[in-house]
Chain A
């Protein structure tokens, strides 16, 4: 009994769908189409696999007690929450002081996500929230991180932090979230604009160098080619984006 009505309803829906799709390609206003509106929100160029962003840290220049890089990172990325237990705070970059008990030799260096070419955090992440961009920057997708902390177990550098508390006053360009894991992003929001990471610019001694390891003409590639550099826990053969000199 309802069949004829159903038929006419279906045909109406079908016609409306075709018309809607057609309208999408039609001009909303002279020179402006729906498709263009949508494209306006997508980045024009993604990360390129021709680039491998890396960092070289000269520990002979890095002064113990100086934490300019740490402060710059916190300011740039909106890491401003106060935690009662400092072990529960996020540290995207930290200063480590080393002392060789046999020789008395001392070093100071910043430690951050090493942006491995073969990152264990990416391997173990159950949802794929931990990911490596084509240009080698290792990131956490805050939308699909479930806060399982398996990446923290897998990271050999203690480079990752879980956000233990509710957050306020965030930097809109650096979304963070309670219950998600986070780490250094090489200030990806700056790198994508052609700028250098905040820590690099803040270092008063010029101990940190950022650039494209794949570009033989870049300063970092030339120094890595000529001078002795160290990858921390090189035994794991993770092919790190961060290299150290002087240790």
Chain B
């Protein structure tokens, strides 16, 4: 039965999807080679906004990679039976999305050819340095975890490895948040709330990605997700979206409370051009309020595919948030001389008007292409499709526990 279901993604549809993913990935790779050959002057990045669109996409993928593993953790670590069949797919997405995020961030390096140096010369006071351990161990642990989940003989060890992977993913996202949280120089960063905020964001973004992929896989096999399971997972997504909003409110309120940060907050939230638009329109309305309506208000719930629309909007909202957070945080000038009007040949005191160039856009989207390609190939060769024994779940009461 299992083989039969998974074989549905054979033939033309498999090659179409894998080919599309590979094409997007190759365009990203080509864009990176072009940037590497010509230098970063072909990008919209500069010496004020030096982390651009690729960083927005890479960090989204890396954060969501950690969060998507949550689905497996809920099954293995917290014993929720409904989530258990979803463990392998959750692990697979964690690996492919982390690989995709690293693809983007590594290829955007000024010296992408020095990857080996990054792995052999590690400065342990750097959060990026920690990543040289955090990412490989994550890959290893999740790979082991998938094996334990898929191999009947090893299943007994899945909880131990699952707990280790769960703890590791929390550490990893704490690290990602701390990339910014430890930066004392800038108004947008240097806050203890950023690491936990990134963790809760990973929950929401990861689950949103999982729900979309699960829907695609069920669609390929002409299956319908059980209504109760769908509702449960949608409820969980709604809870995470609301929690993200809470953390974002706390993050901004903390900044607003400090008088010296007030001008920056006005810039990001009110008068900073594209940034307030993306924050309110993209993150708050599209990425938070609309998904919450779709997930919780009965008239919205009745819309066909409301959960999937909510998931897509959550991802769009996440990307908008990161754009405002990462690029807005750099576009606003450093406040070296409080209360003074500042000008220089290096654009001190100026708000930067970063516009991403085509190579950056292609590299950024290339990350999604990499994740898609690896995922599609993996689900073709191994049985990652979640298969629910509804009768058994119903009998044991696990559908509602």
Q: Please give the residue numbers on chain A whose beta carbons come within 8 Å of chain B beta carbons, in ascending order.
A: 67, 70, 83-91, 94-102, 111, 120, 122-129, 144-150, 152-158, 160-166, 177-181, 232-233, 236, 247
Please tell me which one of the listed residues A102, A150, A236 contacts residue B128 in the complex, with CB atoms under 8 A apart.
Answer: A150
B342 in contact with A180 (CB, 8 Å): no
- What residue of chain A has the Cβ atom nearest to residue B335's Cβ? A233
Let me know if A156 and B334 touch, CB within 8 A: yes
On whether the beta carbons of A144 and B121 are closer than 8 Å, the reply is yes
Residue numbers in A under 8 Å from B126 (CB-CB) = 123-126, 150
The reply to whether A127 and B121 contact each other, CB–CB distance below 8 Å, is: yes
Shortest A244–chain B CB gap in Å is 10
**Complex Cα gap A209–B351 (Å):** 33
Given the complex of chains A and B, what is the CA–CA distance between A70 and B339 in angstroms? 26
**Complex contacts, B381 vs chain A, CB 8 Å:** none
Q: Are A181 and B110 in contact (CB under 8 A)?
A: yes
For A163, what are the chain B residues with a Cβ–Cβ distance below 8 Å? Answer: 39, 110
With A96-B344, A126-B129, A179-B40 known as contacts, the answer to whether A153 contacts B186 (CB < 8 A) is: yes
| Contact partner, B118, options A87, A127, A177, Cβ 8 Å | A127
A126/B132 in contact, CB under 8 A = yes
23 A-B pairs with C-beta separation under 8 A: A96-B342, A98-B341, A101-B340, A102-B339, A124-B128, A126-B118, A126-B126, A126-B128, A126-B132, A127-B122, A145-B114, A146-B111, A146-B118, A149-B50, A150-B179, A156-B185, A158-B47, A158-B48, A158-B334, A162-B47, A164-B40, A179-B40, A179-B111
Decide: A179 and B39 in contact? CB cutoff 8 A. Answer: yes
Q: Is B182 an interface residue (CB 8 A)?
A: yes
Distance A181 CA – B51 CA, assembled complex (angstroms): 13
**Of the candidates B123, B186, B330, which one forms a contact with A125 in the assembled complex, judged by CB atoms under 8 Å apart?**
B123
How far does the Cβ of A235 sit from chain B's closest Cβ, in whole Å? Answer: 9
Measured between beta carbons, the chain B residues less than 8 angstroms from A161 are: 47
Which residue of A88, A98, A166, A178 contacts B337 across the interface (Cβ within 8 Å)?
A98
Nearest neighbor of B37 in chain A, beta-carbon distance:
A166
Asked if residues A178 and B110 are in contact (CB atoms below 8 Å), the reply is: yes
B334 and A126: CB pair below 8 A? no
- Across the interface, which residues of A come within 8 angstroms of B228, CB to CB? none
Q: Establish whether residues A157 and B334, one from each chain, have CB atoms under 8 Å apart when the complex forms.
A: yes
Q: Min CB distance, B347 to chain A, in Å?
A: 6
Expressed in whole angstroms, the minimum distance between the Cβ of A72 and any Cβ of chain B is 15
Closest B residue to A91 by beta carbon equals B346
Q: Which residue of chain A lies nearest to B132 when distances are taken between CB atoms in the complex?
A: A126
Proximity string of chain B (89-117) to chain A, C-beta cutoff 8 Å, 1 when within and 0 when not: 00000000000000000000111101101
Q: Is B46 an interface residue (CB 8 A)?
A: yes
A146 touches B41 (CB 8 A): no
Residues of chain A within 8 A of B348, CB atoms compared:
94, 96, 111, 158
Asked if B41 contacts A164 (CB within 8 A), the reply is yes
Residues of A contacting B51 with CB < 8 Å?
149, 153
CB-CB < 8 A to A83: which residues of B?
Answer: 41
Asked, given contacts A124-B182, A126-B123, A164-B40, whether A146 binds B110 with beta carbons under 8 Å apart, the answer is yes
Secondary structure type dominating chain A contacts? loop
How far apart sit A181 and B126, CA to CA, in the bound complex (Å)? 16
Digit string of B344-383 for contact with A (CB within 8 Å is 1, else 0)? 1111100010000000000000000000000000000000
Q: Does B184 contact A (CB under 8 A)?
A: yes
B347 touches A87 (CB 8 A): yes
Residue in chain B with minimal CB distance to A165: B39
By a CB distance below 8 angstroms, the chain A residues around B123 are 125-128
The complex places the Cα of A236 from the Cα of B62 at a distance, in Å, of 30
**Would you call the interface of chain B mostly helix, strand, loop, or mixed?**
loop
The answer to whether A120 and B185 touch across the interface, beta carbons within 8 angstroms, is: yes
Interfacial chain A residues near B341, Cβ < 8 Å: 98-101
B343 at the interface (CB under 8 A from A): yes
Cα–Cα distance between A87 and B350 once the two chains are bound (Å): 11
B336: interface (CB < 8 Å): yes
Q: Which residue of A lies closest to B189 (CB)?
A: A153
CA distance A233 to B128 in the complex (A): 25
Known: A111-B344, A153-B186. A179 touches B337 (CB 8 A): no
Interface centre among B112, B334, B340 (most CB of A within 10 A): B340
Residues of A within 8 A of B131 (CB): 126
C-alpha gap A233/B337 in the complex (Å): 8
Chain A minimum-CB-distance residue to B35: A179
Judge whether B47 and A232 touch: CB under 8 Å. no
Question: Do the beta carbons of A86 and B345 come within 8 Å of each other?
Answer: yes
Within 8 A of A (CB), among B114-152: 114-115, 117-118, 121-123, 125-129, 131-132
Residues of B within 8 Å of A128, CB to CB, are 121-123
Contact partner, B110, options A67, A155, A179, Cβ 8 Å = A179
CB <8 Å contact, A156 and B47: no
Residue B183, interface by CB 8 Å = yes
In the complex, A90→B334 CA distance in Å?
18
Q: A232's closest neighbor in chain B, by CB?
A: B336
Do residues A146 and B47 form an inter-chain contact, with CB atoms below 8 A? Answer: no
Closest to B116 in A: A146
Cα distance A155–B339 when bound, in Å? Answer: 20
A88 touches B114 (CB 8 A): no
A149-B50, A162-B50, A165-B39 are known contacts. Are A96 and B343 too (CB-CB below 8 A)? yes
Are B48 and A146 in contact, with the CB atoms below 8 A? no
Please pick, from B36, B41, B183, the residue contacting A153 in the complex, using a CB distance under 8 A: B183
Q: How far is the CA of A124 from the CA of B182 in the complex (A)?
A: 9
Give min CB distance, A62 to chain B, whole Å.
Answer: 13
Contacts of B114 in A (CB 8 A): 144-147
Q: What are the residues of chain B within 8 A of A111 when measuring CB–CB? A: 336, 344, 346, 348
